[in-house]
Amino acid sequence: MSVLIRNARVIDGTGAPAEACLDVRVDGDEITAVGAGLDAGGASVVDADGLALMPGIVDTHTHYDAQITWDADLTPSPALGVTTAVIGNCGFTIAPCREADRDLVMRNLTQVEGMSIEVLRGGIRWDFETVPEYLDMIAAGRTRINVAAFVGHSAVRTYVMKDAAVERAANDDEIAEMRRIVADAMAAGAIGFSTSTAPQHNGDGGVPMPSRLADDRELAALVGAMAESGRGVFMLTKGNRTDVPYLEELAAAAGRPVMIAALLHNSTNPTGTFDELEQIAAARARGRELWGQVSCCPLTMDFTIASAYPFESLKAWAPAMKTGRDALPGLLADSAFRDAVKAELAEPAGVRLFNGEWEKLEIVEVARAANAAVEGRTIAELAAEAGAQPLDWMLDFAIGEGLETVFTAVLLNSDVDAVGRMIRDPNASVALSDAGAHLTFFCDAGFGLHLMGHWSRDLGVLPLEAAVRELTAKPAEIFRIPGRGRVAPGYKADLLLFDPDTVGRGPKRRVFDLPGGAPRLTTDAVGVEGVWVNGRQIADAGEALDGAPMPGRLLRYFNP
Q: Is residue 92 domain-shared with residue 118, that is, in the same domain?
A: yes
Residues pairing with 532 in the sheet: 495, 537
Beta strands in 249-394 (DSSP E): 258-263, 290-294, 299-303, 361-365
Domain boundary pick from 375, 410, 445 = 410
Using CA atoms, how far apart are residues 287 and 49, in angstroms rounded to an integer?
45
Q: Is residue 397 domain-shared with residue 432, that is, in the same domain?
A: no
Q: Is residue 93 domain-shared with residue 112, that is, in the same domain?
A: yes
Q: Is residue 441 domain-shared with residue 392, that is, in the same domain?
A: no
Instruction: Give the per-residue pLDDT at 351.
Output: 64
Using CA atoms, how far apart are residues 415 and 428, in angstroms rounded to an integer?
17
> Do the domain assignments include residue 33?
no
Domain boundary pick from 354, 386, 410 = 410
One-letter identity of residue 555? L
Q: Is residue 93 domain-shared with residue 221, that is, in the same domain?
A: yes
> Do the domain assignments include residue 535?
yes
Q: What are the counts of helices (DSSP H) followed by strands (DSSP E) for the chain?
A: 17, 24
Q: Is residue 353 domain-shared with residue 402, that is, in the same domain?
A: yes
pLDDT in tens, 371-427: 999 999 999 999 999 999 999 999 999 999 999 999 999 888 999 999 999 999 999
One-letter identity of residue 53? L
Q: Is residue 385 domain-shared with residue 437, that is, in the same domain?
A: no
Domain that holds residue 261: 55-298+413-504+511-544
Question: Any residues with CB less than 8 A from the CB of 9 and at least 6 apart, and which?
Answer: 18, 19, 20, 21, 22, 48, 50, 51, 52, 53, 500
Identify the segments of the chain with pLDDT beneath 50.
none
Instruction: Give the per-residue pLDDT at 223.
Output: 98
> Do the domain assignments include residue 557?
no
**Where residue 283 sits, what CATH number does that domain have?**
3.20.20.140
> Do the domain assignments include residue 390?
yes
Q: How far does CA 528 lie from the centroid of its chain?
A: 21
Q: Is residue 404 domain-shared with residue 427, that is, in the same domain?
A: no
Total domain count for the chain? 2
> Do the domain assignments include residue 13?
no
Domain boundary pick from 356, 385, 410 = 410
pTM of the predicted protein model: 0.92
Q: Is residue 164 domain-shared with residue 242, that is, in the same domain?
A: yes
Using CA atoms, how far apart are residues 283 and 247, in angstroms rounded to an integer?
10
Q: Is residue 392 domain-shared with residue 451, that is, in the same domain?
A: no
Beta strands in 272-323 (DSSP E): 290-294, 299-303
> Between 172-188 and 216-227, two packed helices, what is the crossing angle to 10 degrees?
30
Burial class (CB in 10 A: 0-12, 13-18, 19+), 545: middle
Q: Is residue 235 domain-shared with residue 325, that is, in the same domain?
A: no
Cβ-based neighbour number of residue 395 at 10 Å = 22
> Do the domain assignments include residue 27?
no
> Do the domain assignments include residue 551?
no
Using CA atoms, how far apart are residues 341 and 256, in angstroms rounded to an integer?
40
> By the 8 A CB rule, do 255 and 223 touch?
no
Beta strands in 142-237 (DSSP E): 146-152, 192-196, 233-237
> Do the domain assignments include residue 26?
no
Q: Is residue 353 domain-shared with residue 252, that is, in the same domain?
A: no
